Structures are given as C-alpha cells and as structure tokens.
Chains A and B, each alone.
Chain A
Amino acid sequence: MYQYNVEDKKFLLERVDQFEKQLNRYLSGELDEAKFRSLRLRNGLYMELHAHMLRIAIPYGILSSSQLRALADVADKYDRGFGHFTTRQNIQFNWIQLPEIANLLRDLTDAGLHAIQTSGKATRNITADPLSGLTEGEIEDARPYCELIRRWFNLHPEFSWLPGKFKIAINGAKLDETALRIHDLGLKLVRNNKGELGFSVFAGGGLGAAAMIGEETASFVPIEDILSYLESTMRIYNLKGRRDHQKKLRIKFLVRELGAGEFSRLVDEDWQETKDDPELKLNLKELESLKEDFALPIKSINLDGFKEVVDFNYSIWKKNNVRNHKVSGYSIVNISLTKLGTAPGDATSEQMRILAELADQYSSSEIRTTKRQTIVFPFVRKDQVFDLWKSLEKYDLASPHQGTLAQIVACPGRDYCDLAKAVSIPIANRVQERFNDMKKLLDIGDLKINISGCENSCAHHHIADIGLLGMQKKGEEYYQITLAGETLIETNIGRKLGPSVSGEKIVDAVESIVNVYIDYRNDEEKFTDVFKRIGIDPFKEKVYG
C-alpha cells in the first residue's frame, strides 16, 4: 500500500508548524479574521459557533488499519469519540477546540494523514474510484495519476489563491463512480487509437444552486502532458474567473459565460506555450514507482472444494454487500455504517478500532471509504467472508443495507449545520423506517436516495435516483424532489418533479415514487431507465395527483 515517505512526513510537520504560528498570531489578535479564515480553510478548519470542524483527507478513499487507528485516537483525544466519513473521501471531526488543532494535526502526520487543502480556494483532495484496481475491465488504475497531480498542486505557488474551490476527480474505470462531470475538473483515463494512454478533460461541472455538467475541453491529453494542461486550465480560471460575484466564483460559471469552445481555445492557446517544457512533464519514473506502491497485495488463489456456509441472514447480507473481485479467490466486502437512528457516515472510535482489527485479520490491513459513505474491505478471501460476517454481526456492523434503498446518503442538515434550511438525517431515518422490510428492500433493488439540507448540495442529491433538497416555505421545512440523476454511464442532473413537498408528507411522496417504479419496471430495469422510458408524468400523477 502506498505510504508517505520520510520527506513527505517532514513536509506535513513543517506545514503544521507554519499553521500553528498563524493560529497563534490569530489568537493574539495579530492576524485578522478574514485572512485567518483564508489560511485556516486551506488547512481544513471550519469555525462553527461552539466548536470547530476539521476535515482530514483520505486520498482516493484508502486507509491502512494503522491510519484508521490514528483517526480513532483523534476522535477520542480531541473530539467526542466519533468521526464522520463524507461523500468526498474525507473524514470530519466536529468538536475540535482551536488551541488543540496543531497537536491533533501533529498526531496524524506520523500516520501520513493531513488536512492540507481539504477546503479553501485551491485544489482539493483529488478523488478516485474507491474500487480502483479491484474490478474487471479497468482502463487503468487512476490512483498513481491522482497522487502525482495532488503533489503537483500541493501549495502550488501560482494556483493557491483561485477564485473558488477546485475539485478534481479522476476515473480509470468503465463505470464512473467518481461522478467526474460534476466536478470543477474531471479527468477520464482513455486510450487513443494507437493504444496510448491519455486523459479526456471535462471542465465546469458542479452541484449547488446552479447544478451543471462539465463539458469536454480536450478529448485526448497524453499522460505526460497532463500537468501543463491542468496548469493552463487553472491559469485561465485564475485570471478570468468571476471574483466579483460571491455566487459565481466557481469555474462552472466562467465556462458557461465564455462557452466551452472559447474556454478550451484559451486554455489550448496557453498550453501551446508550455506543453514542451521538460519541467512540466509528468515524471514517468515516479509514475512507475507509484504503480508498484499501489499494486494489489494479493495473488489469485485456488479455492477448489470450498463450500459456502448456508445461513439465511448471511446470504441476504452477502447478496447486498459482497462483490466479485478481479483476483480469483477474493471478494470485495462492503460494510454499511448506516443504522436506524444514526447519521449516515458517522463512525465511533470503537467502530474504527474494530474495523482496523478486522482489516488486519481479513483484508491485508486495507480499508476504503466510498462516496456512499460506506466502508469497503478490498481483499477478503472468499473462504473467510463468512467469518468476517460473523465478527461484523457481533459488533453490530453487519447491516445488510448496502446497495438497497436504505443505504441513504444524507448531509448533517439542520441537526448540525448552520447553513441548513431543513433536517436531513431524520428524513433518512423515517424513509428507512418506512422500508424496514428486507424482503421489500431486496425486491426494490439498488435505488439511490440522497438528501441535502440546503442548496450547497453536500449530499449530492442531484445525482441520485431520488434526490431531496431541504428548503424553507413560510417558516416550514419543505423538500424539493429531483428524479433520475446519474453518473455511472452517462451524467444527468436529476429532473425536478414539481412543487416541493412538506416534511410531513415527504416520506409518502418517496414511497409513491418507489411504487411507480415497481409498477412500471421490466425485470431488473434500473430506475433511470424506467424514467427515460415512461417520462416524469406517471411519477407526478402519483405524488401530486
């Protein structure tokens, strides 16, 4: 598994030292609020009313068991014993005290964890498919590229003070689990007709109040030229992005205002000046070495004669939570942290330690986190899946929700977030209660519900089968419903169903939508396919009719 080396860790410590000085200058009144805000966000720190939130990066969603233990220690020592896994491969701690930040960060550097650029107007943690390297038919494992690009833009002198935040996702798989076209910049690994590897580049995606899908600005950038191409993209954004209007800061507005054609022409013009600069070529030697670091720790094994245990509960869990591995003899196991009554993505320090222990025992000490706020064990021997399940059961971690409607993604909402217009988690819980019947859940199949408490769209409601967005109407909580958002094969922003629905009635509305789907679908037809075939009207009639 890829780990930071001594120099990397030294760099992390130096960054903490620097931040500590800035923090002290702020606390002594030397540094004003506005500047400190800008600096602290670049170190992942959000200041809330009573305590502070710190966002730690989990690059590419991969953690070693020892990193997970380090996070559990932080949860106990500096927080109230839990952390929150987010939809963008980060973990957040919500109850941090200012004077303790530097020590917290120092505690993490030894495990190679940090909060650098997890927020603020710079390049954020770059995301990749959490199943990178595990599934059949991948074009290329994206992670080594993510890592080289992440490094390049780490405290980049020219691009650390952009107009807005800058999120990059890179996908190397056939299906797009990264949702790259709703990122400021999405990179898709492709091969040209000569079989050479490169990237298709999409710019200007993003959710929020004005959800947009990124447009292609280059169909093929050779891998060795990607850094210069990205620099040119950011240079045009840095110079021309809308700094004058708080709501138009992100690159999506610039791309729309100029038009994707003109934007990519400007980028290309700039790029012609730099693409041959040897200093800006991707370091292919380092790439090879990273490929080795990211290589799978397992080899195929022969399990002839192995017989799966017959157990009803186990088989339900297995159907929902266990996937095929490209390496024979192995499985990919999904673990859902979502239980009735808990916030999606929350994990207690105890759970983290148990998961670390189990990963040591069953998954080559590696854990991955996903966009749906679940945990993945990537390397479980097929003949040990049952034992793993037994252990998970013991610790109440064997929720069989994965891949069913009950695996809801919800942001903190009004329970925790100052910006919220409505609650999210209680709605998620009420939907789970309504569908609290495993037979029914299995029958409905994989249907994604995402709930955001306001337009900032932290829960990605636009790209769910059923998206709920909290809002206020005459002082009451209402939810706007969007249907059939998707990213896996094509990218579509969910279509608005109609007038928003009150909190009281929203669960009925969700149930009506699910019923229309069941009534109309053929065999295993997916929600988005049914929607495309029958249109929005049958759903409207049932919900508002």
Chain B
Amino acid sequence: MDKIKNHLSLINKDYETINLVTFDEWIENFETLSKLGVGLIIGPDDDIYLIKEQLNFIELIALDFNNFDDGRGYTQAYLLSKRWKYAGEIIGINAHLDQLQFMIRSGITSYQLLEAYQGNNEQDYTNGFSMCYQAAANNNGLALQY
C-alpha cells in the first residue's frame, strides 16, 4: 500500500509553514478562514468551481493525486492555473512517480511524492520526452509539435 501523508500543513516556496484545511471546512467557514491565510486540500471529488471566486483568499492549494486512476486532479490543476490564473502555489500531494509528467504539464507548481517512490530518479519521469504534441497549461521549455 502507498503510504499517504495526512497533511496538516505544508511549507511553501518561501519556507513558510502554511496551515491546511479541507475543502469542506473551507466552504463551511469561508468567512473566518478567508482571513487567516490558510491553504486548501482539494481531492478529486471536490467541486472546484465553488471556489472560483475565492481564489484570492487562498494562500496555497494542495491537490491530492493519491488515487492513481482518478484523473480529475489534472483538470483541477488546469482550471486553477491556466483558466483562473490562480496566483498561489499549486502543490500536487501524494503524487505518483509515473504521473509527474502529466501533473506538471497540467499546471501544478510543485509536488510531493508518496514515500514509496523515494530513491527513484525523478528526472526520468518529470519529462522524459524530447517534445510534446499539444499545448497545455504548462509548456515551459518544451518543444511543441502539433
């Protein structure tokens, strides 16, 4: 079994600790939480359209990719980054090695691998391809051919 971390907080790119709340907590207590500078954990079941107008109040977003076959996280990442231009960090948590290339191009800004994958060469999986056949949320440094 994959060892899943139940995150209570995450460290952002400025090395600050950001406390996390679940999607449901956020929706229920938006008034209070929006003033506290917290981050949000979003799972595939969460209806991300509900927070579309609240993004400015969210310090950071952690998308949970633990369920290997559930591809909704990729669309969530796309909507947040490319369509809604969310300015904060989008961290892919409970990530699988073999899916990093898809997560990154869908718009996450960083990731945390599940423990089981420690020791693998991540570079092989973040982008092992010399080109891509489509424009996506993140095309940084990639040769596109389409």
A binds B: yes
Chain A residues within CB distance 8 Å of chain B: 7, 10-11, 14-15, 17-18, 21-22, 31, 34-35, 38-39, 121, 148, 151-163, 227, 235, 238-239, 243, 273-274, 279-280, 283, 286
Mask: chain B, 36-55; 1 = CB below 8 Å from A; 0 = not:
00000000000000000000
Interface residues of B in 67-83 (CB under 8 A from A): 68-72, 74-75, 78, 83
CB distance from B143 to the nearest CB of A (A): 8
Q: Is B124's CB within 8 Å of the partner chain A?
A: yes
In the complex, what residues of B have CB within 8 A of residue A35's CB? 68, 96, 98
Q: Is B135's CB within 8 Å of the partner chain A?
A: yes
Q: Are A151 and B146 in contact (CB under 8 A)?
A: yes
CA distance A157 to B92 in the complex (A): 14
Residues A279 and B135 in contact in the complex (CB < 8 Å), given A11-B129, A14-B129, A35-B98: yes
CB distance from B68 to the nearest CB of A (A): 5
Residues A158 and B78 in contact in the complex (CB < 8 Å), given A11-B130, A279-B135, A286-B146: yes
Q: Is B57's CB within 8 Å of the partner chain A?
A: no
CA distance A152 to B139 in the complex (A): 14
CA distance A156 to B132 in the complex (A): 9
Within 8 Å by CB of A161, from B70, B125, B133, B136, lies B70
Q: Are A161 and B71 in contact (CB under 8 A)?
A: yes
CB distance from B146 to the nearest CB of A (A): 5
CB distance from A21 to the nearest CB of B (A): 7
Select from chain A the residue with minimum beta-carbon distance to B119: A30
Q: Is B101's CB within 8 Å of the partner chain A?
A: yes
In the complex, what residues of B have CB within 8 A of residue A239's CB? 72, 75
CB distance from A23 to the nearest CB of B (A): 12
In the complex, what residues of B have CB within 8 A of residue A156's CB? 133-134, 136
Mask: chain B, 94-121; 1 = CB below 8 Å from A; 0 = not:
0010110111111000000000000000
Q: Are A18 and B128 in contact (CB under 8 A)?
A: yes
Q: Which 6 A-B residue pairs are closest in the complex by CB-CB distance?
A: A161-B71, A157-B105, A279-B135, A151-B133, A157-B102, A157-B106
Q: Is B131's CB within 8 Å of the partner chain A?
A: yes
In the complex, what residues of B have CB within 8 A of residue A238's CB? 71-72, 74-75
In the complex, what residues of A have CB within 8 A of residue B70's CB? 161, 243
In the complex, what residues of B have CB within 8 A of residue A18's CB? 124-125, 128
Listed A/B pairs (28) with beta-carbon separation below 8 Å: A14-B130, A18-B124, A18-B125, A35-B96, A38-B69, A121-B69, A151-B133, A152-B134, A155-B101, A155-B102, A155-B133, A157-B101, A157-B102, A157-B104, A157-B137, A158-B102, A158-B106, A159-B74, A160-B102, A161-B99, A163-B71, A238-B71, A238-B72, A238-B74, A239-B72, A274-B83, A283-B146, A286-B146
CB distance from A408 to the nearest CB of B (A): 36
Within 8 Å by CB of B130, from A10, A34, A38, lies A10
CB distance from A242 to the nearest CB of B (A): 12
Q: Are B146 and A152 in contact (CB under 8 A)?
A: yes
Beyond A157-B101, A157-B104, A159-B71, list 8 extra A-B contacts (CB 8 Å): A7-B130, A11-B130, A18-B124, A31-B98, A35-B96, A157-B106, A158-B137, A162-B71
Within 8 Å by CB of B68, from A15, A17, A38, A157, lies A38
CB distance from A169 to the nearest CB of B (A): 20
Select from chain B the residue with minimum beta-carbon distance to A234: B75
